[in-house]
Amino acid sequence: MRHRGERAPGPLATLRPWLRLLARRRGRLAAGAALMALTLLSAIGLLALSGWFITASALTGALLAAGMAASLDVYVPGGGIRLFAVTRTVSRYLERLYNHDTVLRLLADLRARLFAVIAGLDAQALMRHRASDWLNRLTADIDTLDALFLRLLAPAGVALLAILGLVGLLAAWAPPVGLALGLLLLAGWLWLTLGQARLGLAAGRRQGADREALRGRLIEQLQGLAELETYGSLGHHRREVEALEARFYRDQRRLGAWVALGNALVTLLVGTALVLALWLAARAWAAGELSGPLAVMMPLAALAMSEALAGLPAAFTWLGATWGAAERLNGLAERSRPAAEAARGEEAPAGALGVALERVSLTYPGALAPALDDVSLHLAPGERLALCGASGAGKSSVAALVLRQLAPSGGRIRLGGVALADWPEAALRRRVAALTQRVDLLDDSLAANLRLARPDATEGELWAALAWVDLDAWAESLPQGLATRVGEGGRRLSGGQARRLALARLHLLEPDLVLLDEPFAGLDADTVARLAPRLDAWLAGRAVIYLVHQLTGGPFDPPGVDRALRLEEGRLGGYT
């Protein structure tokens, strides 16, 4: 996190983590850049050699018509022209195919890295943004970063090499021509990269942030249309959206103007290089230092540089958008919690687990009051504790702390006698599990959703888990059985079926510490009567924390509870 007065890192420092990620595929990147260079070399060679050959043929024909002896080997330059033409076509096709395949691989790397970062964020960090904002990070921001290789690094590098190669080639025949074109083209290259980037930097950085804000405001307006209309705020909200939209399009027009300026400068630069090469080559020819065909070849070679420079203005004018995307993604990485695998060396204990909260407090960002205040409780291995309280009392916050989805603002949490922060991530997720009010199901098959708990589970074990929650007969009646897709978020299932599927997944995991938040919420009384004894038997020997509104008289009375505590406004209120 940056503090006030601290300067923001520059583009290079911001992009460095993503450049390191690209370097993992340096072999593919080098091959793609080589194909790009081969395409450009073939284009320059084709135009330059064609100009030389046409001029040499015309001069030879003129000499023969004048009755003078002259000869010209047409086979070698003719073969060279065909070689350059075929190579240019083939290499361009291969370059586009290969480089786009490389970019797709890079996008997969970038998204995998970002997903790992998001998975490392705690619940407080995740709640700072909407789901649409996280989706924007995974799509729009990552798509913006694909410009790093395909539109920024490779084209600029290849263009620079082409300029140096052309200057060296022309200087071998006429040093003044090579020196003059080198100075002109290098100055133009610097402007088309650094100069254009400087022009569009501020507007480009705003584009990504404004696009995200605009999407968020539009989603707010669509989802909350009734409330905004009811409270008379729709007009104000709409004016804010329109102001944001106006700034977004104003920056787009500004960037478009800078790109147009860059394109005009490319045309001017190449035209000036052509005229300069023609003038200097003509002077060298008049002085007898160059042959006529070479004098014609040089300006045509300069003209071919338009292919190398044409893509630079648009790419570098939008460098600010790439910088802004990298800056936002780097901010996520800074807020992610350290990997638990880097714990300070303590081993996760074997056997049954207990948990202890020692004077734990938790305050959410921007909250007026703490969610938990000086909470201390101890759960012995194999003990069952009912944590009671009204909605908002802090029960879910306790669960999030024990699951390490949140870090406490104060106090300590120990799991199995080991500090919770020191637990390896894989061991924690395998041995501590929860059934919360929210059931998360992926748009995949029944089998895939069950195997989230145990990837190596056999089909027989999956059917046994479904039978444990009375879903086996229903699953057998489906045409595709375990291969049936549940839909996005489980929308093809009823609420009760989704709840029982989550309970079956918990059964497959076989954890040592279980947190159950109203486990049978939404189920009818007959189903609860059948499943409750099975749950009671399965929980034997495990440490359990029930999160319930009240211990008795609710839709489900927790069986075998050893102790009950009540939470009131984030503080333990004693036994119930």
List, in order, residues 6 or more apart from 62 with CB less than 8 Å away.
Answer: none
Q: Please, are residues 81 and 49 in contact by the beta-carbon 8 Å criterion?
A: yes
Q: What's the CATH code, domain 11-335? A: 1.20.1560.10
Structure tokens at 242: 């329109």
Region of 389 please: left (phi>0), alpha (psi -120 to 50) or beta: left
Q: Which DSSP string do the residues of 288-350 spell out, in sequence order?
A: TSS-HHHHHHHHHHHHTTHHHHTTHHHHHHTHHHHHHHHHHHHHHHHHSPPPGGG--SPPPPP
59 SS3 class: helix
DSSP designation for 141: I
pLDDT tens-digit series, residues 359-386: 889 888 777 788 888 888 898 888 888 8
What is the pairing mode between strands 513-517 and 432-435?
Answer: parallel
Q: What is the pLDDT of residue 8?
A: 60
Q: Dihedrals φ, ψ of 183, to 5°?
A: -60, -45
Angle in degrees, CA 161, 163, 166, rounded to 5: 105
Q: Residue 73 burial by CB count (10 A; 0-12/13-18/19+): exposed, middle or buried? A: exposed
Which helix (H) or strand (E) segment is 546 a member of?
Answer: strand 543-548
Handedness of CA 500, 501, 502, 507 (dihedral sign): positive
What is the 3-state composition of the chain as percent helix, strand, coil, each rounded to the nearest 5?
65, 10, 25
pTM exceeding the 0.75 threshold for the entire prediction? no
In CATH terms, 355-575 corresponds, of 3.40.50.300, 3.30.70.60, 3.40.1160.10, 2.40.40.20, to 3.40.50.300
Q: CA–CA separation, 204 vs 178, rounded Å?
A: 36
Quote the CA–CA distance of 287 and 277 in Å, as a whole number.
15
Dist. CA 450–CA 466, nearest whole Å: 9
Exposed, middle or buried by CB within 10 Å (0-12, 13-18, 19+), for 59? middle
| Alpha helices, DSSP H, located in 356-494 | 395-402, 425-431, 446-450, 459-468, 472-476
**How far is 50 from 47, CA to CA, in rounded Å?**
5
Report the SS3 class of residue 158: helix
Count, residues in the chain:
576
Of 51, 308, 279, nearest in space to 186 by CA? 308
49 touches 74 (CB < 8 A):
no
pLDDT tens digit sequence for 278-325: 999 999 999 988 888 899 999 999 999 998 999 999 999 998 888 888
At residue 367, φ and ψ (nearest 5 deg) are -75, 150
Determine the pLDDT at residue 575. Answer: 59
Residues 6+ apart with CB under 8 A from 537: none
Coil, helix or strand at residue 410: strand
Could you tell me which residues come within 8 angstroms of residue 16 by beta carbon, excluding any fewer than 6 positions away? none
> Which residue, chain included where needed, has tokens 């595709």?
480
What is the spatial distance between Cα 160 and Cα 156, in angstroms, rounded to a whole number?
A: 6
Spell out, as residue ranges, where the chain has pLDDT lower than 70: 1-9, 120, 122-125, 127-128, 131-132, 333-348, 552-557, 559, 574-576
Domain boundaries, the chain: 11-335, 355-575
Q: Which two tokens stand for residue 100?
A: 């786009």
Burial of 57 (0-12, 13-18, 19+ CB in 10 A): middle
**Residue 66 phi, psi (nearest 5):** -85, 0
Q: Which residue has the tokens 């921001």?
A: 141
Given this model, what pLDDT does residue 3 score? Answer: 45
Q: Which residue has the tokens 């049978």?
A: 520
CA 248, 249, 250, 255 dihedral sign is positive
Q: What is the pLDDT of residue 467?
A: 92
